Amino acid sequence: MTLKHLTTALAAALCVAGAGAGLAQDAVPPVQKVTAATPPPKLVVMIAVDQFSADLFAQYRSHFTGGLARLASGVVFPSGYQAHGATETCPGHSTILTGNHPAHTGIIANNFFDLSAAREDKRLYCAEDETVPGTSSRSGQYAPSVDHLMVPTLGDLMKAHDPRAQVVSVAGKDRAAIMMGGRQADELMWLAPTGLTSYRGRALSPTATQAGTAIAAAIAQSRPGLTLPADCAAHDIAIPIDKGGTVGTGRLARDGGDFRRFMASPEADGAVLAAATALRQARRLGEGEATDLLILGLSATDYIGHGVGTEGSEMCLQMLALDRELGDFFTRLDATGIDYVVALTADHGGHDMPERNRQNGWPAAERVARTLDPAAIGKAVAEKLGLPQPLFHADGPFGDMYLSKALTPAQRKTALAELVARYRAHPQVEAVVTAEELASRPISKRAADTWSLLDKLRASYNAQRSGDFIVVLKDRVTPIPESGLGYVATHGSVWDYDRRVPMLFWRKGLAGFEQPNAVMTVDILPTLAALIGLPLDMSKVDGRCLDLLSGPESSCR
Ligand SMILES: [Zn+2]
């Protein structure tokens, strides 16, 4: 079974009009060049491909023939930046449709700590409501929520401006659907073992329910491996991993009911695209008086990157499948005759597992040392200074660290000095920065590729949410101590391989051009707002409008 079959089967099950259906082909007007006088598009399609780094886009660009080739013929910013320091999924998605850095969205990490929270471990998931009794921040135990997002999204602003505007958000991950969808989305959902799900207590629409049933049926079926195309043959090299087994030569086969492997395969993206197609049709998005917004979060690239790295046969299969799936999705949209604009970017970049990086010309790549385990460091420092434990809270070997509330002001000072010195002395640590250093610093107005380490961390710093100090690892140190099946590589660092993402814009009749200088994902909201004539208070955003019209005309009003 190919992915096209899955999408087609889902589309058929959902009664989605295929290419050629809907509006008659001869009713589609000839392509008119988009100018400053062209009316706004009727539908904005925002696509975030999780972990789709600028490096992956560059590597596979010449191999794309489908949807990504179409976008690459439009307006291309190959050096988009998730400019901030903590390049994780939740912060990254929070920048895309808010125009704000995590410093202002409040989404500083996937998980952060609130030492005054009622729950014992004080740890909060970025997209949960921790006040719901009986919940924890652990996967499957939290109540999904948008409450932590401190700013409105494009959809929220569109609906405030014109209540007729419809907003639909569908993603592989809850945090992608939520952080891009915002508070006012008409429908918001993500993939689950049962197909599709949403907030607790929020019923799915009949169309979403039907799509979820079809997706659940697809998950229940086993899937044979994909055929490796010739383009991917050079990637087909087995790399041993620490806990036994190899990665690199996979074909994305899985057993029936294996949801984890379903998510780490092009099937998951196909399911989101098929559901989005069905919801577009059911709600007639793009066919009303106001411009509508359809948001898609495609997560498979990220699960594959984490599970088997970015340079094996598996990622090659995924890149080519994503291109095909997006091509099919756009073909279906074309058939409706709707004037739509597509923006595609990523929540962060990524890079390969150190074992393969060392084989591919990067001998410096290594895994984080066990000596950077925060629990061990906290214990040693507390014992040395005679302070209560736990001394501080952390979500891993780097990032935000929160000193215990049990410390007196004098103890905090002593503990902070000792911890900073100890971390700084570690050979894998690039820098340790205190909240105090960041608090007084303005957010940089310079191009994101020139930002200093402090500039990056400042864009991730929020006084209410950030830790007391932040640990930055050296570049090419992968913060996973040991590779195991399903988790070999990651992102989240301040380094450009995790910050650089493509930013692509396409609309029928819009002349393409390429701008290689650095732009930012916080520029997407002002750019789209201008394109659809949505008034925007520029003092409330960190980004700027990108002019999508080549030549002297401008799409920025
Ligand atoms: Zn991500």
Beta partners for 504? 76, 344
Q: Are 9 and 274 in contact (CB under 8 A)?
A: no
Residue 2: the pLDDT is 42
Peptide bond into 390 cis (omega under 30): yes
Q: CA 474, CA 89: separation in Å to the nearest integer?
A: 20
Cβ distance 50 to 302 under 8 Å? yes
What is the distance in A from the centroid of ligand 1 to the CA of 488?
Answer: 15
Can you tell me the mean pLDDT for 335-343?
98
Confidence of residue 485 (pLDDT cuts 50, 70, 90): confident
How many whole angstroms from 32 Cα to the centroid of ligand 1? 37
Ligand 1 mean position, distance from CA 110 (Å): 9
Q: Are 478 and 353 in contact (CB under 8 A)?
A: yes
Position 4 scores a pLDDT of: 54
pLDDT, tens only, 33-90: 999 999 999 999 999 999 999 999 999 999 999 999 999 999 999 999 999 999 999 9
Strand, helix or coil for residue 366: strand
Give distance in angstroms: CA of 383 to centre of ligand 1: 37
- Does the annotation count 249 as an active-site position? no
Average pLDDT over residues 197-211: 97
pLDDT band of 484, cuts 50, 70, 90: confident
What single letter denotes the amino acid at residue 285? L
155: burial class by Cβ within 10 Å (0-12, 13-18, 19+)? buried
Percent of the chain with pLDDT over 70: 95
Which runs of consecutive H residues, i.e. helices, occur in 287-408?
A: 300-308, 313-336, 354-359, 374-385
Among 320, 347, 211, smallest CA distance to 272 is for 211
> In this structure, are residues 275 and 25 in contact, taking their beta carbons and an 8 Å threshold?
no
Query: If we measure between CA atoms, which residue out of 198, 218, 226 comes closest to residue 262?
Result: 218
Give the side-chain half-sphere CA count within 13 A for 268.
29
State the average pLDDT over residues 327-344: 98
pLDDT score of 15 more than 50: no
- Indicate left, alpha or beta for 134 from its phi (over 0: left) and psi (-120 to 50: alpha): left
The pTM (predicted TM-score) of the whole model is 0.96
Ligand 1 midpoint to CA 92 (Å) = 7
Where does the pLDDT of residue 29 fall: very low under 50, low under 70, confident under 90, or very high at 90 and above? low
Q: Is 17's pLDDT higher than 60?
A: no
Angle between helices 313-336 and 266-283 (to 10 degrees): 10
Which DSSP string do the residues of 45-74 spell out, in sequence order? EEEEETT--HHHHHHHGGG--SHHHHHHTS
Rounded to the nearest integer, the mean pLDDT of the chain is: 95
pLDDT of residue 384: 98
Does pLDDT of 18 surpass 80? no
User: 89 CA to middle of ligand 1, Å?
Assistant: 3
* CA–centroid distance, residue 45 to ligand 1 (Å): 19
Q: What is the pLDDT of residues 259-299, one digit of tens each?
A: 999 999 999 999 999 999 999 999 999 999 999 999 999 99
The number of residues making up the chain comes to 557
- Please give the distance, rounded to the nearest whole angstrom, from the Cα atom of residue 98 to the centre of ligand 1: 17
Task: Answer yes or no: is pLDDT of 258 > 70.
Answer: yes
Structure confidence at residue 23 (pLDDT): 43
Q: How many whole angstroms separate alpha carbon 41 and alpha carbon 522?
A: 21
Distance 328 CA to ligand 1 centre (A): 24
In this prediction, residue 12 has a pLDDT band, given cuts at 50, 70 and 90, of low
Q: How far apart are CA 79 and CA 407, in angstroms?
A: 44
Lowest model confidence (mean pLDDT) among 25-29, 111-115, 383-387, 482-486: 25-29
CB atoms < 10 A from the CB of 322, how many? 26
pLDDT digit string, tens, across residues 223-243: 999 999 999 999 999 999 988
Catalytic hit among 2, 38, 65, 89: 89
Residues 412 and 157: their CA atoms lie apart, in Å, by: 42
CA of 435 to the centre of ligand 1 (A): 25
Between strands 392-394 and 399-403, the pairing is: antiparallel
Q: What is the mean pLDDT of residues 178-183?
A: 98
Round to whole Å and give the CA distance between 144 and 137: 10
pLDDT tens string 391-404: 999 999 999 999 99
| pLDDT band, residue 27 (cuts 50/70/90) | low
Q: Ligand 1: distance of its center to the CA of 51 in Å?
A: 5
Distance between CA 457 and CA 437 in Å, rounded?
10
Rounded to whole angstroms, what are the CA distances from 123 to 130, 135, 288? 9, 11, 43
Is residue 16 predicted with pLDDT exceeding 50?
A: no
d(CA 503, CA 321): 20
Determine the 3-state secondary structure of 246 from DSSP. Answer: strand
Tell me how far the alpha carbon of residue 172 lies from the centroid of ligand 1, in angstroms: 11
Q: What is the structure's pLDDT at 135?
A: 96
Model confidence band, residue 491 (pLDDT cutoffs 50, 70, 90): very high
Question: Tokens standing for 66?
Answer: 């489908």
